[in-house]
Amino acid sequence: MEKYVILGGAKLEGEVEISGAKNSAVAIIVAALLVKDVCVIENVPAVSDTYVLMDIINQLGGKAEFVSKGTLRIDARGVDCIEAPYEMVSKIRASSYLMGALLGRFGHARVAMPGGCDFGVRPIDLHLKGFEALGAEYTVEHGLVDIHAEKLSGAEIYMDTVSVGATINVMLAAALAQGQTVIENAAKEPHIVDVANFLNSMGANIKGAGTDVIKIKGVESLHGGTYIVIPDQIEAGTFMIAAAATNGDVLIKNVIPKHLDSVTAKLLEMGAEVEEYDDAIRVKASGNLKKVNVKTMPHPGFPTDLQPQMLTLLTRTEGTSIVTENVWDSRFKYVDELRRMGANVTVDGRTAIVEGGAQLTGSPVSSTDLRAGAALVIAGLMANGVTEVYNLKYIDRGYENFEQKLRSLGAQITRRKDGEKCHFAGIA
């Protein structure tokens, strides 16, 4: 088993380059299945979720390969299989996008119920309701969702809950449908806009992405082309929080500052310095930071995918902060691990009360999901002594070169097999 070994106490200082957005890339890679041609996608992060999806495309008869760093070539001409069984898709939540893409292209998809990080209930009822509105029928048998349609026709679809996955899945299925689809109460995350821009650059007709009404006029076919994925909002936010958490001074490059407004606002409220440039953000902190309350919300609210990192930072501020999780029903599992390090946090349902002022102490901890893993690394950077973070498979799903980037900023972090010695100054 591999782990990160972190010697806490170093301030993060310097510059870091943010990778392409994982949550955009995973949707765009699957969206390329709609295109009976070659798509070249640039700025794709080399994370395990990307490799899992490349494997799936290859198994379905297509060809996905990195042709240079960050540049993925997907040739979906040969795709001739509409079935993605459990072994193929159970590792990754984004495999649910196969439903919309295969349904859109072939009128038929057989996809196992998707897996991914566990934050409690993760239904796909809104995805299925959307497909039904477009004229599809589905059954769920033996763990497979079988969705088919003689013909997909545009429809008006109101989403009961704001859902990133359902919004993207309906866009995929509707891109080649007959007539116009209108999604109301659509998700507005930057990766929704990115997927729509990708599809439009391949010939689709999608308007309104980034607002809560998206209009998709179905087209006959899509063509190949080249597309560049946007920078990763959540990776950038993670480095912003890590800079503040270590009293550091970091210039975070290749970002879209607008995507990070909610994080910037909270860091400023806490007393950190945040400077915005065209495509970079500098975060600097020193001394005591102030408590803040944080409520996660769909975009443009504070992202749930930065909630664990932010809560971790709040363990060192003055006073008591309240963190409310409004997106997922069970996203505080990692708090037990933080308590092991001396954090003083009480969880009651979707609310966590964080008593600030704790000096965390290094200890062995285990990632419970992707973003919780990043939060525990931040906790390790803040702690006195040595922290070991286990279960790196989660962090590997979504952070490209995480330890290398942190090391380049001065963090004492190394990746080790269990039992392998670690040679930080002063540590055996």
Q: Contact with ligand EPZ (CB under 6 A): which of 1, 139, 161, 273?
A: 161
> At residue 185, what is the residue type?
N
Residue nearest to ligand EPZ (CB): 165
Part of the chain binding ligand EPZ (CB under 6 A), chosen from 160-168, 175-183, 210-218, 338-346: 160-168
- Strand ranges, E, within 219-308: 225-228, 249-253, 273-276, 280-284, 294-295
Between 248 and 308, CB nearer to ligand EPZ: 308
Residue 372 token pair: 């919780």
Q: What angle do CA 76, 82, 87 make, to 5 degrees?
A: 100
Between 7 and 147, CB nearer to ligand EPZ: 147
* Percent helix, percent strand, percent coil in the chain, to nearest 5: 35, 30, 40
Tell whether residue 122 is a contact of ligand EPZ (CB under 6 A). yes
Helices H, strands E: what count in the chain?
Answer: 14, 24
Part of the chain binding ligand EPZ (CB under 6 A), chosen from 76-84, 119-127, 178-186, 283-291: 119-127
Between 163 and 391, CB nearer to ligand EPZ: 163
Tell whether residue 370 is a contact of ligand EPZ (CB under 6 A). yes
Contact (CB, 8 A) for 32 and 39 = yes
Question: Among 381, 253, 358, which Cα is nearest to 309's?
Answer: 381
Q: Contact with ligand EPZ (CB under 6 A): which of 6, 7, 25, 26?
A: 26
Tell whether residue 94 is a contact of ligand EPZ (CB under 6 A). yes
Question: Among 122, 105, 206, which Cα is nearest to 164's?
Answer: 122
Tell whether residue 163 is a contact of ligand EPZ (CB under 6 A). yes
Tell whether residue 134 is a contact of ligand EPZ (CB under 6 A). no
10: helix, coil or strand?
Answer: coil
Contact (CB, 8 A) for 233 and 190 = yes
Tell whether residue 56 is a contact of ligand EPZ (CB under 6 A). no
Tell whether residue 307 is a contact of ligand EPZ (CB under 6 A). no
Tell whether residue 63 is a contact of ligand EPZ (CB under 6 A). no
| Count of positions (residues) in the chain | 428
Tell whether residue 305 is a contact of ligand EPZ (CB under 6 A). yes
Contact (CB, 8 A) for 18 and 239 = yes
- Sheet with 83-84: strands ordered across: 83-84, 108-112, 144-148, 137-141
Contact (CB, 8 A) for 99 and 117 = no
Tell whether residue 229 is a contact of ligand EPZ (CB under 6 A). no
Q: Contact with ligand EPZ (CB under 6 A): which of 244, 371, 380, 390?
A: 371
Tell whether residue 259 is a contact of ligand EPZ (CB under 6 A). no
Q: b/e map of 59-74 (b: 16 or more CB within 10 Å)?
A: ebebebeeeeebebbb
Number of residues that bind ligand EPZ (CB under 6 A): 25
State the minimum distance, in angstroms, from the CB of residue 306 to ligand EPZ: 9
Residue 338 token pair: 């933080």
Tell whether residue 304 is a contact of ligand EPZ (CB under 6 A). yes
Between 75 and 194, CB nearer to ligand EPZ: 194
Q: Contact with ligand EPZ (CB under 6 A): which of 15, 125, 261, 420?
A: 125
39 is catalytic: no
Tell whether residue 188 is a contact of ligand EPZ (CB under 6 A). no
Between 10 and 297, CB nearer to ligand EPZ: 297
Give the footprint of ligand EPZ on this chain (CB under 6 A): 23, 26, 93-94, 117, 121-127, 161, 163-166, 187, 304-305, 327-328, 370-371, 398
Q: Supply the residues annotated as catalytic.
A: 117
